[in-house]
A and B are shown apart, each in its own frame.
Chain A
């Protein structure tokens, strides 16, 4: 039995807006084992992003326990959480969040810049490896504003990979991309999954669920469904069957 990478116990998150309290998460408990590819789905406002931000230590729960790799996150200081993010988490955002006017390789190197244990030659080597893994070895010196959305998202994924994290978190990583590019990204995630990485993938698109190993469905801050997917489809196959778009047909 693989070890638990993530364990949530009755996580609640409330936002105070004016004199109203918004209950974004109303007591969420689950655990995720090493090597799982989990999709989290649910309608808009159901609390998916809130949950993922808590998992990524970008936000703190109002109550409840969260263990990442066996470490309790709740009682940690801000600095310790920053170090935890730096060493154990790779986060992919819907809007890429790359540094503007900065080359792909420098963007990928960024997490390692904040890790004093890694020297500059190793940093460069790992960044190059990560960019190769996402298929961007020929775009390393391109700046973020000289790349397409799909390429930017690959850079963001490479950045999430570069620190060899315990878990990769993606919040609607394909939300801004057309369906072909989305499947290319999905192929990438499936490849990472096949390499044994733990992935949590928030999405609106129910189709994507069938490419992951486990589906969690949120509604109104509660988990309403949590099932193992016995029949994982291959994104590569789907991509091959997809009609090629006009530009490439020429």
Chain B
């Protein structure tokens, strides 16, 4: 076989028909680039959501009063009062796997500061709450154990509250805000966290000692919930079991009695979110698959048509002595050159488009190596196959039939 000459012939044929070569390449470029970009966008979004989930603290455990709710039956109010301060105290003393523990009682109403007011709520918590929720104090400080013991009228506020109550930009620390006639002194401001993936404003928050909320606002002797965080994510199950046994003993429940409290973990929530993002990935993979298919059909068409319309050329080459194998080799070289060049340009275009989306659209992208490999392979293999197959058919013709082909 004289490869050099056939290679020359192929190059010549390509350069004599730049437009045709370019159009064929375009199909491959678009196919490869679309798939790479699409997958990069999808994976970027997925990674973003996952980061947010782990940012929410997947080791958080929530204890609510009342047993498992059955079929939406309205509960007796007394059932909602089963968690007491004593439960919190005993958990604090006895539980082995908890890094942080905080009661939770809330009161809602209109927050007022001078001429400004804003509807919100105050969460009564302990000092641990900050570490459980992975919050940071940006100015001032968190209230102390002493404040909790003394039911001090102090609070720590989030950025949304600052924006609404102090729109002129004065430093809130040291100022007094009021809720339901009770004055609270602002002693700290929380670092802004923005919205979470479920669209909740995480900065619309006011923290006060739980004793303050229980005694000065609500006048109640029960807790609405207890937040805890396990020492580590892997310890969440152990911690849950530990809490359950301590609380059952504390509530004097007999074997066979149902729990009069409920334990939920953040893991369950992140499970749900993970399922959602997996669905998103599947969806994007489907879209990518379809674009690959459409791209492949495009490549197939243009290759098939361009080779078929060159049947006369094939006949002419055969009439001056080209063998079937020479024709086939020529078309194969052409198809490989077009497909690989197109594939490489497609990869560059796809990566470039992803980068542009990241810069301009501010959308997280993560280019996946497997999407690069698969789209490149599918498009080039399709291109080569559909360049080769019609050429093989044409090369099998008698030269005179190929020459006569219209």
Chain A residues in the interface with B (C-beta under 8 A): 53, 56, 58-60, 78-79, 82-83, 85-87, 91, 93, 97, 99-102, 106, 110-111, 113-116, 159, 163
Contacts and interface: CB of A to CB of B under 8 A. Distances in A.
B10 to A, nearest CB: 11
Interface in B111-145: none
B403 A58 contact: yes
A111 B321 contact: yes
A114 B400 contact: no
A114 B323 contact: yes
B231 interface: no
Given A113-B8, A114-B5, A79 B323 contact: yes
B208 interface: no
Given A58-B319, A58-B403, A82 B324 contact: yes
Contacts of B324: 78-79, 82
Contacts of B398: 58-60
Interface centre among A60, A87, A101, A113 (most CB of B within 10 A): A113
23 contacts: A56-B319, A82-B318, A82-B323, A83-B321, A83-B323, A85-B399, A86-B320, A91-B319, A93-B403, A97-B319, A97-B403, A101-B16, A101-B17, A110-B317, A110-B320, A113-B8, A113-B9, A114-B2, A114-B320, A114-B321, A114-B322, A114-B326, A116-B2
B313 interface: yes
Contacts of A163: 321
B23 to A, nearest CB: 16
A97 B324 CA distance: 19
A102 B316 contact: no
A91 B315 CA distance: 13
Contacts of A116: 1-2, 5
Interface of B: 1-2, 5, 8-9, 12, 16-17, 313, 316-326, 398-400, 403
B321 A87 contact: yes
Between B9, B317, B321, the greatest number of chain A beta carbons within 10 A of the residue's beta carbon is seen for: B321
A13 to B, nearest CB: 11
A56 B315 CA distance: 13
Given A82-B326, A91-B320, A113-B8, 10 more contacts: A59-B400, A85-B321, A87-B321, A91-B319, A97-B319, A99-B316, A102-B12, A106-B12, A114-B2, A114-B323
Looking at B12, B17, B324, B399, the one whose CB has the most chain A CB atoms below 10 A away is B399
A82 B328 CA distance: 14
Nearest to A159: B320
Contacts of B313: 99
Given A79-B325, A116-B5, A111 B320 contact: yes
Contacts of B399: 58-59, 85
A85 B400 CA distance: 13
A184 B48 CA distance: 80
A82 B403 contact: no
A125 B12 CA distance: 20
Contacts of B317: 110, 114
B400 A113 contact: no
Nearest to A53: B400
Contacts of B321: 82-83, 85-87, 111, 114-115, 163
A60 B400 CA distance: 10
A56 B400 CA distance: 10
Contacts of A53: 400
Contacts of A111: 320-321
Nearest to A116: B2
B403 A85 contact: no
Nearest to B4: A120
Contacts of B9: 113
A231 to B, nearest CB: 35
Nearest to B326: A114
A58 B16 CA distance: 27
Contacts of A99: 16, 313, 316
Contacts of B319: 56, 58, 85, 91, 97
A157 B124 CA distance: 102
A-B pairs, 6 with minimum CB distance: A86-B321, A116-B2, A82-B323, A111-B320, A58-B400, A101-B16
Nearest to B398: A59
Contacts of A113: 5, 8-9
A116 B2 CA distance: 6
Contacts of A110: 317, 320
A114 B329 CA distance: 12
A85 B325 contact: no
Nearest to B5: A113
A86 to B, nearest CB: 2
| Residue among A56, A82, A85, A86 with the highest chain B CB neighbour number at 10 A | A82
A102 B323 contact: no
A93 to B, nearest CB: 8
Contacts of A93: 403
Nearest to B401: A59
Among B17, B320, B325, chain A packs the most CB atoms within 10 A around the CB of B320
A64 to B, nearest CB: 17
B316 to A, nearest CB: 5
Highest count of chain A CB atoms <10 Å: which of B12, B313, B319, B400: B319
Contacts of B8: 113
A97 B12 contact: no
A141 B313 CA distance: 20
Contacts of A159: 320
Nearest to B312: A97
Nearest to B2: A116
Contacts of A100: 16
A106 B326 CA distance: 17
A79 B398 CA distance: 11
Contact of B322 (A58, A60, A82, A102): A82
B323 A78 contact: yes
Nearest to B324: A78
